[in-house]
């Protein structure tokens, strides 16, 4: 299916904006999220840790897969549909800005993160206090990323009316959006649980 857009001059920059949000804001969140999950897995043992870390691992996996999928689809859209259209218009004598070729950065990231699955021990290390403090910002950072990504997606889809991968992009976001409220609630709950665990640990000093 040939690409059909409202404004060929801006669709490249709109695709690039999604990639920027995904790779910079999303990438930074993923890196920090992975680090805090690994730290919590080392510093928190027990059935409570198993439940909370399992929820975090699910969010991490879903977010990684979304980023990888969207990144791949947007790079393909830009390089194989948008740029050829812009070049066709420009070299045919039309007035059109030719955008930049894009590339993927996250396709090699493993969406699976290993965390404890059995609460055979029950203890917390002193570092759990710092971990809990670090985690306080994650729910709001996740919300900010989702808001930025949703805004960039809606801008692109308003311009991009038809194309080979449009339905795949819509489906990728729809699949993730169906779980966003659940993920937000999980992050909020883990934050609250960590505060309880850290406060108890402080009382032991």
Query: In this model, does residue 82 exceed pLDDT 70?
Result: yes
Query: In this model, does residue 205 exceed pLDDT 80?
Result: no
Query: In this model, does residue 136 exceed pLDDT 70?
Result: yes
Query: In this model, does residue 145 exceed pLDDT 80?
Result: yes
Range of the domain at 51: 4-104+126-203
Per-state percent for the chain, helix, strand, coil, to nearest 5: 75, 5, 25
- The percentage of the chain sitting over the pLDDT mark of 70, rounded to a whole number, equals 100
Q: What is the pLDDT of residue 187?
A: 97
For range 14-43, the mean pLDDT = 96
Query: In this model, does residue 196 exceed pLDDT 90?
Result: yes
Asked if the structure places residue 116 within a domain, the reply is: no
Residues 6+ apart with CB under 8 A from 121: 45, 46
Burial class (CB in 10 A: 0-12, 13-18, 19+), 1: exposed
Asked if the structure places residue 167 within a domain, the reply is: yes
* Selection from 117-121, 163-167, 191-195, 201-205 with the highest mean pLDDT: 191-195
135 vs 22, 90, 130, 142, 188, CA distance in Å? Answer: 21, 49, 9, 11, 10
Asked if the structure places residue 188 within a domain, the reply is: yes
For range 98-127, the mean pLDDT = 92
Asked if the structure places residue 31 within a domain, the reply is: yes
Asked if the structure places residue 55 within a domain, the reply is: yes
Q: Cβ atoms within 10 A of the Cβ of 175, count?
A: 13
Token pair belonging to 28: 């930074």
**C-beta of residue 72 within 8 angstroms of C-beta of residue 104:** yes
Query: In this model, does residue 1 exceed pLDDT 80?
Result: no
Q: What is the pLDDT of residue 61?
A: 96
What is the DSSP track for 160-191? EEE-TTHHHHHHHHHHHHHHHHHHHHHHHHHH
Domain tally, the chain = 1
Query: In this model, does residue 174 exceed pLDDT 70?
Result: yes
Query: In this model, does residue 107 exceed pLDDT 90?
Result: no
Asked if the structure places residue 109 within a domain, the reply is: no
Query: In this model, does residue 79 exceed pLDDT 70?
Result: yes
Query: In this model, does residue 118 exceed pLDDT 70?
Result: yes
- Specify the pTM: 0.92
**204 pLDDT band (50/70/90 cuts)?**
confident
Report the alpha-carbon distance of residue 25 to residue 57 in Å, rounded.
19
Query: In this model, does residue 108 exceed pLDDT 90?
Result: no
Asked if the structure places residue 179 within a domain, the reply is: yes
Asked if the structure places residue 114 within a domain, the reply is: no
Q: How far is CA 134 from the centre of its chain?
A: 19
């Amino acid at each position: 299916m040939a690409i059909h857009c409202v404004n060929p001059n801006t669709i490249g920059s709109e695709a690039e904006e999604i990639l920027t949000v995904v790779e910079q804001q999303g990438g930074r969140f993923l890196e920090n999220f992975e680090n805090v999950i690994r730290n919590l897995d080392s510093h928190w043992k027990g059935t409570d840790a198993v439940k909370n870390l399992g929820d975090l691992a699910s969010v991490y996996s879903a977010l990684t897969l979304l980023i990888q999928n969207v990144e791949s689809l947007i790079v393909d859209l830009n390089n194989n549909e948008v740029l050829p259209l812009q070049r066709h218009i420009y070299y045919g004598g039309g007035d059109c800005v030719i955008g930049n070729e894009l590339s993927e950065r996250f396709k090699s990231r493993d969406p699976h993160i290993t965390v404890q699955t059995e609460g055979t021990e029950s203890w917390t290390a002193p570092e759990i206090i710092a971990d809990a403090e670090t985690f306080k910002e994650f729910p709001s950072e996740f919300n900010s990323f989702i808001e930025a990504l949703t805004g960039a997606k809606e801008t692109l889809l308003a311009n991009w009316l038809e194309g080979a991968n449009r339905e795949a992009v819509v489906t990728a976001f729809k699949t993730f959006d169906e779980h966003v409220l659940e993920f937000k609630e999980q992050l909020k709950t883990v934050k609250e649980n960590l505060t309880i665990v850290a406060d108890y640990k402080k009382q032991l000093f």
